[in-house]
């Protein structure tokens, strides 16, 4: 947890305040000679973190400078474009004048001389303007070359730093191999301890068997002392195993931390390579813009219709200004005519597509109706067939009933049954026959009605189809006219929308550029994963490993087939006491961790506030490093710094460049050697750097 806090830029703990310069004089050194030695792991991690922070800061500054220069180039290009349009307008005016001169050449010879003089003056102005543009272009070329040199230097620095990071990664890999070897060695030791444990368990089992063989009770104190010694040895051995497991868990934790840091550095390396590629792409686009600018200049220089004597060139006799303007007008008319024809064709094509879609929908509807009609016909035919079958069956039943009646009559006559009974039965049978006849007649009438309804529906469908066709032909003409009108309106609206979209895009680009120009806030690196979650994950993993080890040890202790769950090698009271103490310790540790987390959060917030206040008021970014060191960056030159060692009372800086502060040694002698005032030295540094930044902005 301490390493993670020290590695983060903004959450590092505050150091003790330095002693006043009057009591302890500060020793000035250009190179860090009195820096105490630091352990390799911490030193390498700190150097890596600071290198990465410096690289990110340099990349941000480079991006800002590049965007500012790009905006300046765009403004200059816009101004050149305006001037180019003005020159084109002037040339068109001169061409109109020349046309007028050619038309009135026979009658106005005197005016020709005046016009030639005016042309000479225009040429001189154009030549002067071209000379000015060439001088500006030369200046821009020089600036571009300087920028290229700066970019190449920065890229070389970044490549060297990347090589250093790769070397550090290789060193980390060697350290990981060493840790793995140590883990293998410790695992062998654990195996040996397990063997000793098994031997002691055998001894315990022998003692138990001996005790079982003796029926008498153990009255002597010597036997109890031996047993207690055996138990104490066993407890010590268990504690040794637990300590070995804890050591292995701590070493595994360190290895995981090394792996996480290695992955983080790899990701940062990939990000830096991506940013380098973007810088290269931007340089390529800048070169293409330069080529386009040169081509525009060549076109301006090649726009010369007249010789030095004022006469028309022989190569341009065929195409006079009149001819050029006439051809241009004809081409413009043809282009507009063709564009109108294209729009009309597009509208007609869209109308045809819509009509085709409508006809396809109607065809699908008619097909659906036809299918439904066919299905209805099939269903009606089935019903008709069933009704006919029922009618035939009813007729047959009637015939059978009549035969039965005749048989009954004959039977009654033979057997001399009472006349009254016979008459009643005959009447009942006649009623049944009449009912069957009525039902058959009803069924035949229903069939006739169904046939009539089918014929009516067919006629109505035919009439509706004819009406639809007539309505479609009348509606087609109306809809086509209406669609043409709507297409014309849509074309005008689309033009206005395109113009507004163009203005919107231009304004959005301007807003983006203005937002990109704003000062970017300083980012303070923090841990990506919370330390509490990491600690919990590590504890869970350790518990799982210890449980697995306990199970394996129990399996080794117990013979095959024994019940390992009910095994008790230690008295239960001792075990409960130990569990109670462990729970209390865990609760205390949990409370302490909670307090520490809250304090760290409050401390991080306050430290960030303090750093923001210092940055806004003093104009310096302060970083607290390990081993009582402080690193100070200026807001006017973020790539340069001052490093103060509060223990060794030394000062180191890279501001002694003659291009930045040439009299660095004189300032140190004056403000620290003679007057012993560090705040005054910082104030003079800020003033010098501000003057340098303002002068560079004026030059650009």
**In this predicted model, what pLDDT tens digit does every residue of 560-597 receive, in sequence order?**
555 555 555 555 666 677 777 788 888 888 888 888 88
The answer to whether 25 and 649 are in contact (CB under 8 A) is: yes
Query: CB within 8 A of 623, min separation 6: which ones?
Result: 9, 12, 50, 53, 630, 631, 632, 633
Could you tell me what percent of the chain has a pLDDT over 90? 0
Does position 189 have pLDDT exceeding 60, yes or no? yes
Q: Read off the DSSP letter of residue 15.
A: P
pLDDT at position 3: 42
Interatomic CA distance for residues 44 and 38, integer angstroms: 9
574 against 257, higher pLDDT: 257
CA atoms in the 13 A half-sphere facing the CB of 140: 22
Q: For residue 425, what are its two tokens?
A: 């039965």
Any idea which of 231-235, 357-361, 384-388, 418-422 has the lowest mean pLDDT?
418-422
Assess whether pLDDT exceeds 70 at residue 683. Answer: yes
CB 699 within 8 A of CB 142: no
Non-local (6+) Cβ contacts of 207 within 8 A are 227, 230
Q: Is 522 left (phi over 0), alpha (psi -120 to 50) or beta?
A: beta
In b/e form, how buried is each residue of 36-64, taking b as 16+ CB within 10 angstroms? eeeeebeebbbebbbbbbbbbbbbeebbb
Closest CA to 692 of 617, 640, 630, 644: 640
For 624-635, letters b (16+ CB in 10 Å) and e give: bbbbebbbbbbb
Average pLDDT on 263-273 reads 77
Letter string b/e over residues 189-218, b meaning 16 or more CB atoms within 10 A of that residue's CB: ebeeeeeebeeebeebeeeeeeeeeeeeee
Contact criterion met (CB below 8 Å) for 57 and 639: yes
What is the rounded (10 degree) CA torsion for 310, 313, 316, 317?
80
| Architecture of the domain delimited by 1-38+600-700 | 2-Layer Sandwich (3.30)
- pTM for the predicted model, two decimal places: 0.21
pLDDT for 656? 78
Give me the percent of the chain exceeding a pLDDT of 70.
Answer: 67
């Amino acid at each position: 947890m301490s390493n993670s806090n020290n590695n983060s830029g903004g959450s590092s703990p505050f150091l003790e305040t330095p002693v006043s310069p009057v009591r302890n004089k500060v020793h000035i050194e250009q190179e860090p000679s009195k820096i105490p030695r630091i352990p390799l792991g911490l030193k390498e991690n700190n150097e890596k973190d600071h290198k990465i922070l410096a690289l990110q800061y340099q990349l941000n500054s480079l991006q800002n400078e590049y965007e500012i220069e790009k905006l300046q180039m765009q403004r200059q290009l816009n101004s050149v474009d305006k001037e180019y349009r003005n020159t084109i307008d002037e040339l068109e005016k001169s061409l109109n004048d020349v046309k007028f001169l050619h038309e009135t050449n026979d009658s106005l010879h005197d005016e020709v001389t005046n016009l030639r003089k005016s042309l000479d003056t225009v040429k001189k102005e154009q030549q002067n303007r071209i000379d000015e543009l060439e001088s500006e272009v030369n200046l821009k070329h020089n600036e571009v070359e300087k920028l290229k040199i700066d970019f190449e230097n920065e890229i070389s620095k970044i490549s060297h730093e990347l090589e250093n990071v790769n070397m550090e990664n290789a060193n980390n890999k060697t350290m990981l191999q060493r840790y793995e070897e140590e883990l293998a060695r410790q695992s062998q030791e654990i195996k040996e301890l397990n063997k000793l444990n098994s031997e002691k368990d055998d001894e315990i089992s022998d003692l138990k068997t001996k005790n079982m063989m003796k029926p008498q009770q153990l009255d002597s104190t010597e036997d109890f002392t031996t047993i207690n010694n055996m138990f104490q040895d066993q407890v010590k051995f268990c504690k040794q195993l637990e300590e070995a497991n804890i050591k292995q868990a701590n070493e595994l934790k360190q290895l995981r931390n090394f792996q996480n840091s290695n992955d983080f550095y790899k990701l940062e390396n990939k990000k830096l390579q991506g940013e380098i590629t973007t810088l290269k792409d931007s340089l390529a686009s800048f070169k293409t813009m330069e080529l386009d600018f040169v081509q525009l200049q060549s076109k301006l220089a090649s726009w010369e219709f007249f010789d030095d004597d004022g006469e028309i060139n022989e190569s341009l006799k065929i195409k006079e200004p009149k001819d050029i303007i006439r051809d241009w007008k004809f081409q413009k008319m043809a282009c507009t005519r063709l564009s109108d024809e294209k729009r009309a064709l597009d509208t007609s094509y869209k109308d045809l597509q819509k009509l085709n879609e409508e006809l396809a929908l109607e065809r699908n509807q008619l097909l659906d109706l036809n299918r439904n009609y066919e299905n209805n016909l099939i269903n009606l035919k089935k019903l008709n067939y069933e009704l006919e079958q029922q009618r035939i069956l009813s007729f047959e039943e009637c015939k059978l009933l009549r035969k039965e009646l005749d048989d009954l009559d004959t039977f009654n006559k033979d057997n001399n049954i009472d006349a009254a009974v016979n008459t009643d039965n005959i009447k009942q049978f006649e009623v049944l026959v009449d009912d069957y006849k009525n039902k058959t007649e009803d069924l035949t009438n229903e069939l006739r009605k169904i046939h009539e309804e089918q014929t009516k529906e067919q006629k109505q469908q035919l009439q509706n189809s004819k009406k639809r066709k007539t309505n479609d032909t009348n509606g087609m003409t109306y809809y086509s006219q209406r669609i043409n009108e709507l297409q014309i309106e849509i074309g005008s609206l689309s033009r206005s929308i395109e113009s507004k979209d163009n203005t919107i895009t231009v304004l959005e680009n301007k807003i983006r550029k203005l937002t990109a120009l704003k000062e970017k806030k300083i980012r303070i690196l923090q841990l990506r994963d919370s330390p509490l979650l990491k600690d919990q994950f590590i504890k869970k993993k350790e518990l799982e490993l210890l449980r697995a080890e306990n199970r394996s040890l129990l399996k080794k202790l117990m013979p095959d087939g024994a019940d390992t769950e009910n095994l008790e090698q230690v008295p239960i009271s001792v075990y409960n006491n130990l569990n109670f103490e462990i729970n209390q310790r865990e609760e205390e540790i949990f409370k302490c961790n909670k307090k520490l987390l809250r304090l760290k959060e409050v401390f991080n917030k306050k430290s960030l506030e303090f750093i923001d206040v210092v940055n806004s008021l003093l104009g310096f970014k302060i970083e607290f490093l390990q081993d009582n060191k402080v690193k100070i960056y200026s807001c006017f030159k973020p790539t340069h710094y001052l490093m103060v060692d509060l223990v060794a009372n030394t000062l180191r800086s890279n501001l002694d460049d003659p291009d930045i502060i040439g009299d660095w040694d004189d300032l140190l002698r004056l403000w620290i050697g003679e007057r012993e005032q560090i705040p005054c030295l910082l104030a003079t540094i800020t003033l010098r750097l501000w003057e340098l930044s303002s002068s560079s902005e004026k030059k650009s």
